[in-house]
């Protein structure tokens, strides 16, 4: 889908690298930039296999890499030469830092007017918090996301999955696709200013809209959905929890299966609005009724009556699930010096342009010489840059695991 698109990725962490990994697995040539001495910090984050960090590998497979010190004049010249030929330039520096380094939007646009320049930051390029650094847990907290996550009457809960990072990566992927399409139609590039804070606020979705309409600050509801009752995790006779969401059309069958047909005509429970208004009465009744049978029996009976339900799986159950396997969500690739590495697949199933893992995550400095030659550097010039420490070539055991 993106064959022929060149991406220069100056970002690090999760959000930016996740975006560029998705572009790479749809065919873009992504060059990932690291510092020749400090390297990308995610290379040393556990767990490891053969010195290869799973954290680093998850977000950086299918790319090429170059190690260059852009604070050195010769290094900056390399970056600018790469930017001249790039369709997309990405960075996630704190606002203002890219300009000071000489790789801000105006500097890149001056040498490449058609460039799509993708800036990712915690709080955006404008506003009173623009200079603050943003990390996933802080953004989950500050956006209100944590305030609505957790059990009633308990402390706020952070999602273990890095929701702010991953959603920013996905939104970035969408924004770059849109910008590429716009450029195809108009010939014009543009600056994408993507703030993790903005994304997390946007993801409040109907909960945020509900507050804007009513002015009522929502409370935490655990597994319950305060706008759709009953919808929660219910403990069954065998101690297993089942998340059940009966809709209005299934409500009569749900009541009969639970042994309470009288609820069907009970004016407190007869309509979705009535059930929401009387949730404090209804939920204890449903919880008690669900204790009558084991989860597997409930699931079969609910499935037979088209009542939506599902178990709360741990990750072992998820990755052994026939649906996960059938959908090809678990992939693997061979990493040099490491062997077979398992990987999560991207979720898009496309009949003409499916994504695929194009290459293993690059070893440190693996493509430095190759990339420098592509922008016209001679062997002598490359050797001089390496000797001066401006760039770094691949070193032995270059996965840079914990021993390094």
How far apart CA 258 and CA 106 sit, in angstroms, is 65
How far apart CA 118 and CA 9 sit, in angstroms, is 9
Question: Would you state the structure tokens that stand for residue 161, as one six-digit string?
Answer: 């999955």
CB 180 within 8 Å of CB 87? yes
Q: What is the pLDDT along the chain (404 residues), one digit of tens a residue?
A: 999 999 999 999 999 999 999 999 999 999 999 999 989 999 999 999 999 999 999 999 999 999 999 999 999 999 999 999 999 999 999 999 999 999 999 999 999 999 999 999 999 999 999 999 999 999 999 999 999 999 999 999 999 999 999 999 999 999 999 999 999 999 999 999 999 999 999 999 999 999 999 999 999 999 999 889 999 999 999 999 999 999 999 999 999 999 999 999 999 999 999 999 999 999 999 999 999 999 999 999 999 999 999 999 999 999 999 999 999 999 999 999 999 999 999 999 999 999 999 999 999 999 999 999 999 999 999 999 999 999 999 864 445 455 44
How far apart CA 382 and CA 398 sit, in angstroms, is 19
| End-to-end Cα separation, the chain, in angstroms | 37
What's residue 402's pLDDT? 52
Whole-Å CA distances, 229 to 226, 242, 282, 402, 404: 7, 15, 8, 49, 54
Show the CA angle centred on residue 10, arms to residues 165 and 111, nearest 5°. Answer: 130
User: How many helices (H) and strands (E) in the chain?
Assistant: 17, 14
What's residue 157's pLDDT? 96
The CB-side HSE value for 249 (13 A sphere, CA atoms) comes to 4
Show the CA angle centred on residue 91, arms to residues 2 and 343, nearest 5°. Answer: 55
Instruction: Return all residues near 29 (Cβ < 8 A) that are at least 6 apart.
Output: 4, 5, 6, 7, 64
What's residue 395's pLDDT? 64
CB 211 within 8 Å of CB 217? yes
Backbone angles phi, psi at 255, to 5 degrees: -60, -45
Structural domains present in the chain: 6-203+329-392 (3.40.50.10540), 232-312 (3.30.1540.10)
Q: b/e string for 359-394 if b means 16 or more Cβ within 10 A? A: bbbbbbbbbbbebbebeebeeeebeebbeeebbbbe
Q: Which residue has the tokens 């990390």?
A: 135
Whole-Å CA distances, 254 to 75, 86, 268: 67, 57, 16
Catalytic residue among 165, 193, 198, 393: 165
CB 105 within 8 Å of CB 180? no
CA-wise closest residue to 246 among 313, 310, 150 = 310
Q: What is the pLDDT of residues 89-136, one digit of tens each?
A: 999 999 999 999 999 999 999 999 999 999 999 999 999 999 999 999
- Report H helices in 239-348: 251-257, 272-277, 279-290, 295-304, 315-320, 322-326
29 is catalytic: no
The CB-side HSE value for 149 (13 A sphere, CA atoms) comes to 14
What's residue 394's pLDDT? 87
């Amino acid at each position: 889908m993106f064959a022929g698109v060149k991406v220069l990725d100056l970002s690090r962490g999760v959000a930016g690298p996740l975006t560029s990994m998705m572009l790479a697995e749809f065919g873009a040539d992504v060059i990932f930039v690291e510092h020749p001495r400090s390297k990308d910090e995610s290379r040393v984050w556990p767990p490891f296999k053969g010195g290869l960090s799973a954290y680093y590998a998850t977000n950086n497979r299918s790319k090429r890499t170059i190690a260059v010190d852009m604070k050195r004049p010769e290094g900056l010249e390399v970056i600018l030469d790469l930017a001249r030929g790039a369709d997309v330039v990405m960075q996630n520096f704190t606002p203002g830092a890219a300009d000071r380094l000489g790789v801000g939007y105006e500097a890149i646009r001056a040498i490449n007017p058609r460039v799509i320049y993708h800036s990712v930051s915690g709080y955006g390029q404008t506003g009173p918090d623009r200079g603050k650094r943003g990390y996933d847990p802080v953004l989950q907290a500050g956006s209100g996301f944590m305030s609505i996550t957790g059990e009633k009457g308990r402390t706020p809960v952070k999602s273990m999955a890095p929701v702010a990072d991953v959603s920013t990566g996905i939104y970035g992927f969408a924004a770059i696709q849109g910008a590429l399409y716009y450029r195809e139609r108009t010939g014009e590039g543009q600056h994408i200013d993507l703030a993790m804070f903005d994304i997390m606020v946007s993801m409040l979705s109907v909960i945020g809209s509900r507050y804007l309409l009513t002015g009522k600050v929502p409370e935490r509801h655990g597994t319950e959905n305060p706008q759709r009752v009953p919808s929660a995790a219910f403990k069954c006779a065998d101690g297993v929890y089942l998340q059940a969401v009966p809709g209005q059309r299934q409500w009569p069958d749900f009541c009969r299966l639970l042994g309470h047909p009288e609820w069907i005509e009970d004016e407190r429970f007869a309509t979705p609005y009535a059930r929401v208004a009387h949730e404090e009465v209804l939920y204890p009744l449903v919880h008690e009724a669900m204790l009558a049978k084991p989860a597997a029996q409930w699931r079969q009976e609910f499935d037979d009556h088209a009542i939506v339900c599902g178990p709360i799986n741990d990750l072992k159950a998820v990755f052994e699930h026939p649906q996960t396997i059938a959908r090809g969500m678990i992939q693997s690739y061979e990493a040099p010096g490491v062997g077979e590495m398992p990987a999560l697949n991207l979720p898009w199933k496309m009949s003409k342009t499916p994504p695929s893992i194009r290459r293993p995550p690059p070893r440190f400095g693996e493509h430095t010489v190759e990339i420098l030659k592509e922008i016209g550097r001679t062997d002598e010039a490359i050797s001089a840059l390496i000797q001066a420490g401006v760039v770094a070539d691949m070193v032995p055991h270059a996965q840079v695991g914990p021993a390094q």
